[in-house]
Amino acid sequence: MSASDFQSVGTETWRQDGIAKVTGAEQYAPDISVDRMWFGRVLRSPHAHARIVEIDTSAAEALGAVCLTFADIPKVKYNERIVSTPPCLYRDRYVLADKPRHVGEAIAGIAAPTEALAEKALRAIRVEYEPLQTIITMDQAMRDGAAPIHDTIRLMDDDIPIEHNIAVARTIEVGDIDRGFAESDIVIERKFKTNRIYHAQMETKTVLCRPEVDGGLTVWASTQSIHNTRILLGEIYAIPLHKLNVKKAALGGSFGSSIQMNSVTPICVGLALKSGRPVKIVSTREEDMYDHVRYPSEITLKLGLKADGALIAGHMRADIDIGAHNIQAYPFLGCMGGFWASLYTLPNLKYEGRAVYTNKTPSCAMQGFGAPQTTFAVECLMDEIAADLGLDPVQYKLAHYVGLGGTFWGQGPASKCIIRSDGVPELLKVGSEKIGWKNRPKAGSGSGRYRRGIGMARGFHTSGVGHPKTSGAEMIDYSGAIVKVNEDGTVDLVQSLMDHGGGTNDAIAKIVAEEIGVPAQMVGISPVDTRTTLYDVSTHATRGVYAGGAAALKAARKVRQMLLDQAGRVLDVLPESLVIEPDHELGQGVIHCPNLADRRITVGALAKHMQINSLGTIAAAESLRQVNCPPAYVSYFLELEVDTHTGQIKTRRAVLGSDCGTVVNPKLAAGQLVGGLSKGHGYALIEDNHWDPETGELASKGFWVDGKTPSMSESPLLDDVETHFAHTFEPTGPFGAKGLGEAAGNPAVAAFANAVHNAIGVRFYEVPITPEKVLAALAAKQGPGAPARPEEPVADEPRLDPAPAGE
C-alpha cells in the first residue's frame, strides 16, 4: 500500500488548530487566566551549592504575600518524569530544594494579588546561605573528596548512597570484546564531545492552578503529558486523582523539556493550596534558561575492524553531565548504548555509561535523547574509517548498517524489535544523487577563501518504546483514545496525547477518518483534560503517530464495526456486505452495499436515526501498547562552505531524507526535517552554554541571544534545501506509519562535521564547530610560519548577506 491508496492519510489539509494559531486565538498555558487569580514568583538560589541556614519570610508576608518554603511542602522525594517504571525511577528532589544545588534552583515560592507585589515580596525574603564547594565539571565531581551534591537518593523503598557524585552507571555487553579486538586487523579510537545546549522553546514554562471547593485542583501547565502531571501532583500532595484535573493547553514548543513535570508546576500548586487562591506562574526567559538543557556527552569510541572494514568489536565509554538532578539518566544511558548497537552490526560490543552530578542546570531530554550524541561519534568515525580504507562512506555504511531483519534497540536493552521496514538504501541512493555525492571534492583539496565540502550522515530515532514483555519493562508506553460518532455523522477524537506542533493530533485524526471511512475534515480533535480522557504516557520517543495513532486506530476500528452492524439492521443486509467510504462532495461518510445499489445511508443519517430512536451513541474507548519500536531512519547530505578568513560555515545545500513509513501530513512532515536541520545547525556550529567555574552562573546571564538560537538570516535559502521520503510501509504502524519528529535532527551534527572535513580536511571531534575553532584548526594545519590568512581577499561569488535594512 502507498499513500495514494488512502483517502485521508497523506492528504494536505490546514492543520485543525491552524486558524486559531494564525489569528492569535490559540490558548497556551501563559494565555489562560481565571477570576481572583494571584501571581506567583519563585525565589531562586544565587549560589550553585549551599546550605540554607535560615529563611525569613516575615517581611514578605507583611506585604500581603503568601510564601511557600521547604518547611511547607510535603516531604515527598520524587522524580519529575514518571515515564520510567518504579524500579528505574531515581528520585532526588522535593518541590523546593532542601539545599540549592545549582544557581537558579527554587528555594521559595511567593503568591500575591499583583505581579508587582509578588516581585516586591520576593525581594523581601531574607535567606542566609552557607556556601558549599561549587562543582562545575565532571572531573571535579568525581575527584576524591569532592563535596557530595546528593548524599542519597530514593529508588523504590530504599535510600541509595551516591558515591563520587555518580548518579548512575550502566554497562551493556554483547559478545566478547576482548576476543573481538584480538581478532581485529585495525583498531581505531577517538574521543568526542558534545555541547550542553538550551531547548529554546518559545513558551517559557508556565502553570496555573485553581483550588476547587471540593478540595480538588484544576491545573493548566506546560507539559508533554497531562496524565503524568496529574498522577505526580496527586502523589506529592495526596489528592485523589478524581479531584485533580489537568487541562490540556497548546504547547508552545518543548523538544523534550516538558516530558518531566516542570519545576514551577508543583510550586504553583503548593502556593494555590496555601493561599486558597488560583495562582499563575510564568517563568521568565532567564529562569527558563536555568531550568533545563540538553544532556552533553564525552564519548570515547573504539572500533575493531577486519582489513576489509567489517566491524568486529566496539567499546564505547560515555560520561554524561546531568547537572544538579537526575531527571532520566538511567534510560538516557541505556538509549545511548542501544542506539549505538542499532547503527552498525557489531558482534562484540561493550558500552559503559556514567551520569555525573554537577552544580549546574539539570540536563534533560532534547529531541533525540542520546541519538544525536551517539550518532555524532559513530557517523564521524565511520566516515573516518571509510576514508582511511579508501572506501566510499555511503557504500561502506550501506554494507554494514543494521537494517531489514536486524534488531533495533528502541529504548535501551528493554525495548527491542525486529526491523520490518527499511528505507535506508533508497534514502542514501536518492540523497547521493541529489547532492552529487560522486563529484564531491577530495577532502581538503580546495583552495581560495571559500572552501566547499560535501558530507553525509545517517541515523534514526525509535518510534515509541513498545515491546512484547508483560513484566520487567523499564518504561511505561501506552496510549488511549475515545472515538465517538456525533449525531450528524462527524466524529470526535478524544485523546490526551499532546501535539508539540508537528501535527501529531492532525495525523491521528486522519488515521481515524481513514479507518472509519469519513472525509478527514469530519474528525475533530477535542479539547481535553485528564478527567475525560484515557491515560497517555507522554508525547516523547517519537511515539505520537506510531503509538498514539495506533490506539486511536483501535478505537476507530471498533466504531467502524458498530456503524456497519447498525447500518446492516437499517438497510436489511448483512454487515459483512457493507463498506464505508468518504463522499467528499457530500461531506459525509457513506455506508453502502456494492451489490445492491439502493442499500445506502450516510453516517450522518445513521447517527441521526440512532439518536431519534434512542438507540445509543456509537463510540469506543481503547488503550493500546505497541509491541514494536521500529526505527524511523533519516539521512543528511550537506554541502557547506567554510570561510577560511572568518571561520564561518554556511549551509549551501541540504538534502534531507526520511523513512517514516507512510507519510500522513506531507507538508508538516517535510517541515519536521527542515526544523531538524535548523536545530542541528545550531547544535553543530553555534550553540553552547557555559557556567562560571566560581559562581556557577550561566555565562549568558540568561540572555537568549547568547544561546545563539539560529535565526532566519543564517538559515539556508529555499532553493538550497530539499526533502524526500522513502517509499516504505511499516507493517506494525497505523496505515504503515512510523515516527519522524526526533529522527529529523539526529544525524545533523555528524553530517556537519563530515562536510566540514570534506571542505577543509580537518576533523572536528567536538561541537559546536565555532569560527574560532575553525581558524585555530586551519592555523594548526598550516603550521607555524604560515601566514595568518590565505592571500585571497575577494569573495569567490555573490553571496546572500543582505545589508541591514534601514540602518
Partner 1 sequence: MNDRRVRFTLNGEPREVSVKPNDLLLNVIRDDEKLTGTKYGCGIGECGACTVHIDGRPVLACLELAVAAEGREIVTIEGLAGNGGALDPLQEAFLDNGAVQCGFCTPGMIMMGRALLDETPEPSEAEVRDYLRGTLCRCTGYASIVQSVIDAGAKEAAAD
**Cα separation of 238 and 535, whole Å?**
19
In the complex, minimum distance from the CB of residue 755 to partner 1, in angstroms, rounded to a whole number: 17
* Contact status: 667 vs partner 1 (CB under 8 A): yes
In the complex, minimum distance from the CB of residue 598 to partner 1, in angstroms, rounded to a whole number: 41
Task: Report how far apart, in Å, the C-alpha atoms of 724 and of each of 277, 404, 431, 549, 721 are.
Answer: 52, 20, 8, 23, 10
CA dihedral 786, 388, 653, 4 (to 10 degrees): -170
In the complex, minimum distance from the CB of residue 73 to partner 1, in angstroms, rounded to a whole number: 28
In the complex, minimum distance from the CB of residue 715 to partner 1, in angstroms, rounded to a whole number: 5
In the complex, minimum distance from the CB of residue 181 to partner 1, in angstroms, rounded to a whole number: 42
**Cα separation of 462 and 368, whole Å?**
9
* Contact status: 155 vs partner 1 (CB under 8 A): no
**DSSP for 213-280?**
TTS-EEEEE--S-HHHHHHHHHHHHT--GGGEEEE--B----TTTTSSPPTHHHHHHHHHHHHSS-EE
Instruction: Decide: helix, strand or coil at residue 688.
Output: coil
* Contact status: 699 vs partner 1 (CB under 8 A): no
User: Which of 648, 709, 773, 779 is close enough to bind partner 1 by CB under 8 A?
Assistant: 709
* Contact status: 717 vs partner 1 (CB under 8 A): yes
Question: Which residue number, 224 or 566, has a Cβ lying nearer to partner 1?
Answer: 224
**Cα separation of 83 and 538, whole Å?**
8
Q: How many CB atoms lie within 10 A of CB 769?
A: 23
Extract the C-alpha cell encoding 62.
507583611
208: β partners? 220, 280
42: β partners? 109
User: Which of 269, 346, 668, 753 is close enough to bind partner 1 by CB under 8 A?
Assistant: 668
**Cα separation of 568 and 588, whole Å?**
18
Of 25-33, 340-348, 444-452, 542-550, the segment contacting partner 1 by CB under 8 A is 25-33
Residues 672-691 that bind partner 1 (CB under 8 A): 674-679
User: Which of 133, 703, 727, 782 is close enough to bind partner 1 by CB under 8 A?
Assistant: 703
* Contact status: 671 vs partner 1 (CB under 8 A): yes
* Contact status: 4 vs partner 1 (CB under 8 A): no
Question: Which residue number, 39 or 351, has a Cβ lying nearer to partner 1?
Answer: 39
* Contact status: 123 vs partner 1 (CB under 8 A): no
- 352 in Cβ contact with 318 (< 8 Å): yes
* Contact status: 199 vs partner 1 (CB under 8 A): yes
> Would strands 38-44 and 279-282 be described as parallel, antiparallel, or unpaired?
parallel
* Contact status: 527 vs partner 1 (CB under 8 A): no
* Contact status: 24 vs partner 1 (CB under 8 A): yes
Burial 261-272 (b: 16+ CB within 10 A, else e): bbbbbbbbbbbb
User: Which of 78, 181, 255, 357 is close enough to bind partner 1 by CB under 8 A?
Assistant: 255
In the complex, minimum distance from the CB of residue 203 to partner 1, in angstroms, rounded to a whole number: 5
**Cα separation of 273 and 718, whole Å?**
52
Give the contact letters, 473-502, x = binds to partner 1 (CB under 8 A), - = no. ---------------------------xxx
Question: Which residue number, 28 or 535, has a Cβ lying nearer to partner 1?
Answer: 28
* Contact status: 202 vs partner 1 (CB under 8 A): yes
Question: Which residue number, 417 or 744, has a Cβ lying nearer to partner 1?
Answer: 744
Instruction: Decide: helix, strand or coil at residue 367.
Output: coil
- Cis peptide upstream of residue 693 (ω within 30 degrees of 0): no
Question: Which residue number, 290 or 409, has a Cβ lying nearer to partner 1?
Answer: 290
In the complex, minimum distance from the CB of residue 478 to partner 1, in angstroms, rounded to a whole number: 25
How many of the chain's residues bind partner 1 (CB under 8 A)?
Answer: 63
End-to-end CA distance of the chain: 56
Task: Report how far apart, in Å, the C-alpha atoms of 336 and of each of 90, 297, 751 are.
Answer: 18, 10, 19
Question: Which residue number, 33 or 395, has a Cβ lying nearer to partner 1?
Answer: 33
In the complex, minimum distance from the CB of residue 635 to partner 1, in angstroms, rounded to a whole number: 17
* Contact status: 665 vs partner 1 (CB under 8 A): yes
- 149 in Cβ contact with 77 (< 8 Å): no
In the complex, minimum distance from the CB of residue 682 to partner 1, in angstroms, rounded to a whole number: 9
Question: Which residue number, 453 or 502, has a Cβ lying nearer to partner 1?
Answer: 502
* Contact status: 798 vs partner 1 (CB under 8 A): no
Instruction: Decide: helix, strand or coil at residue 3.
Output: helix
Query: Which spans of this chain sit near partner 1 (rule: CB under 8 A)?
Result: 14-15, 17-19, 21-28, 30-31, 33, 199-204, 250-255, 282, 284-285, 500-503, 665, 667-668, 670-671, 674-679, 703-705, 709, 711-713, 715-718, 721, 800, 802-805
